[in-house]
Structure 1
Amino acid sequence: MPLQAVLFDLDNTLFDHHGSASAGLAGFLQHLGRTPSRELERSWFEIEQRNYSRFLGGEFSFHEQRRERLRQFLPLAGDSIPRSDATLDTLFAFYLESYEQAWAAFPDAVPALQHLRSIGIPAGVITNGNHQQQASKIRRIGLERLIDRVFSSELTGFAKPDARAFLLPCGSMGLEPAATVYVGDNYLTDIAGARNAGLRAIHLKREGCQTPESIGSLEEVTKLTSIEAAN
C-alpha cells in the first residue's frame, strides 16, 4: 500500500526536550542558589517522568503534576517544600522560563519535514500532554508551517500507547493505518503502541547502538520516504 503520511512523536523526536529541560533545571537551580549536579539532574527527570505518567493516567491535573514534581524534588536540592500551591506555582515558573528559553528542534527535524512537504507526503504529530504547551513548542521551534495536524492526548482523550491515540488521528486525516508511518523515540509508548494500532512504526534511537529496526536520525526517514515515493 502506498505511503499516505508520516506522523511523529514530538518530545525527543522532533523537539529536544531533554536538552531544553536540562537547561531549564540549571536555571532553576541557579535561582535556588544550588549547584547543578548529575545526581540532581537524574532525579529531576525521574520525578518528571513518574508524575507526568500520573497526569496522563488522570490522577493529577497538568498543574498539579508540576506541583508534585517540586514537592518531591526540592528536598533533594536542600530546600523546604512551600505550603501553598501559589508558592509552588511561582517557583515552577522560574523553571518554566528557563526551559522555554532553551526550546529547540533537533537539527534534522526541519530538513526531514521539508522533504516530506516537497514530495507531497503529509506530516503530523501525535504527542502525549497538554495541547497548548505542545502546540506552543511546535510554533516556537519553527515547525508549525511544516506540520499539517497536531494531536495531543488532551485533544483526543487518549494517551499513547493506547491504540486510539493513533487511530483517531488517522481517521481525522483520512489515512489508512497500514499506509501510515509513525516515528518515535520511546519503544513502548511510540513503537509498540503504533504497531498495535496497525501503523508502520520506526524507532528513533539517537544515542547508543542502533538495531536493525531502529534509526539514528531523521535523515533516515528522508531516505526511506524517497524510496517509497519513487516506487
Structure 2
Amino acid sequence: MTAATWLGRPVTGVLFDLDDTLVDHRGAVERGLRVWLASLGLDEMLEEHVERWFALEALHYERFQRGEISHMEQRRARIRGFFPGCDLRDDAVADDVIGGYLACFRAAWSAFQDAGPALARVRALGLPVGILTNGDQTAQEEKVRRTGLASYDVPVYASSSLPAAKPDPRAFRHACADLGVDPGGVVMVGDSLRHDIQGARAAGMAGVLIDRVARYRADEVRGVDRIKSLAELGWAS
C-alpha cells in the first residue's frame, strides 16, 4: 500500500469532513437564508434572524445525529422554532415552508477553492480517501455532486448510513474498514474539534483541524495540528 507522511508520521489513508471543510456550509446557509427571508419580506433584523437560524440548526441537527429524530423531523422542528407564531403543526405545511429555504440553500452550495486540489493530491499519492460526514446519506451525496466534488470519485460515508454519528469512534472505524485501512495510519481532516479531531483520536486516528476563520482560541487547540487552508496539507511521499 502507498504510504505518505504528515509531520513525520506515516499516513496510509485520509478522511475528510464535508461541511465547512470541503463545502462552504455556513456560507451557503447565510446566502440562502438571506435570499429566502428577503422573498418573505423579512429584511429587517436580518442578522438576528440568521443567528437564530444557526442556533436552531445546531440544536435540532444534534438531536438528529443522536438518533432522537429523523432528518425530516429535524427540519420541521427548525422551521417551527423559527416561526413560533405560525400554525405549522401539519407536517405537509411545515415541509412546504422550509422547502422555500432549502431551494435557496441548495442554490448557494459551493466547494471551497482548495477542496478539489486537496482530494486530487491525496488520490495522486495513491492513498485511500473518503468523506466522513454527519448527515443524511442522500442529501450529502447530492451536495457532493452539485458542488463538483463527485468528479474525484471519493466515497461518502454519512451518519444516516453508519452505526453512529461523529464523534462516536464507530463512525470512523466503519469508514476505515470500508476503505481497507487500519485507523492507526489514517488522518482525519475536519473543522470540528469535538466531532472530527476528538472523535478521530478516540478511534485511534490522527486529526488535523482546519480552522479557516480562527474559530478556536489557541488554548482550546493546544496540542492539535491546525491549518487555515487545505493547501497546507503538504503530504510527503
Normalising by structure 2, what TM-score?
Answer: 0.89
Task: Find the partner of 2:207 among 185, 201, 206.
Answer: 201
Which 10-residue stretch deviates more, 26-35 or 44-53?
26-35
Report the equivalent of 2:127: 121
Task: Find the partner of 2:225 among 205, 213, 219.
Answer: 213
Task: Find the partner of 1:30 among 38, 42, 46.
Answer: 38
Residue identity (%) = 41
CA contact (8 A) 1:110 1:143 kept: yes
Give CA-to-partner distance per residue, 1:145-191, whole Å, 9 cap, x none: 21432111111131000000000111111101111110000001110
Report the equivalent of 2:59: 50
Q: CA RMSD in A?
A: 1.5
Q: What SS does structure 1 have at the residue aligned with 2:140?
A: helix
Report the equivalent of 2:91: 85
Q: What SS does structure 2 have at the residue aligned with 1:11?
A: coil
Report the equivalent of 1:69: 78
Cα distance in 2 between the residues matched to 1:94 and 1:127: 25
Report the equivalent of 1:110: 116
Question: Mind listing any 5+ residue stretches in structure 1 that lack a counterpart?
Answer: none
CA 1:185 to 1:164, structure 2 compared with 1: closer, same or farther past 3 Å?
same
Which 10-residue stretch deviates more, 146-155 or 122-131?
146-155
Report the equivalent of 1:156: 162
CA 1:57 to 1:170, structure 2 compared with 1: closer, same or farther past 3 Å?
same
Q: What SS does structure 1 have at the residue aligned with 2:29?
A: helix
Task: Find the partner of 1:4 among 8, 12, 15.
Answer: 12
CA contact (8 A) 2:15 2:130 kept: yes
Cα distance in 2 between the residues matched to 1:160 and 1:219: 24
CA contact (8 A) 1:31 1:94 kept: no
CA contact (8 A) 2:207 2:225 kept: no
Count of matched residue positions in the alignment of Structure 1 and Structure 2:
222
Which 10-residue stretch deviates more, 79-88 or 91-100?
79-88
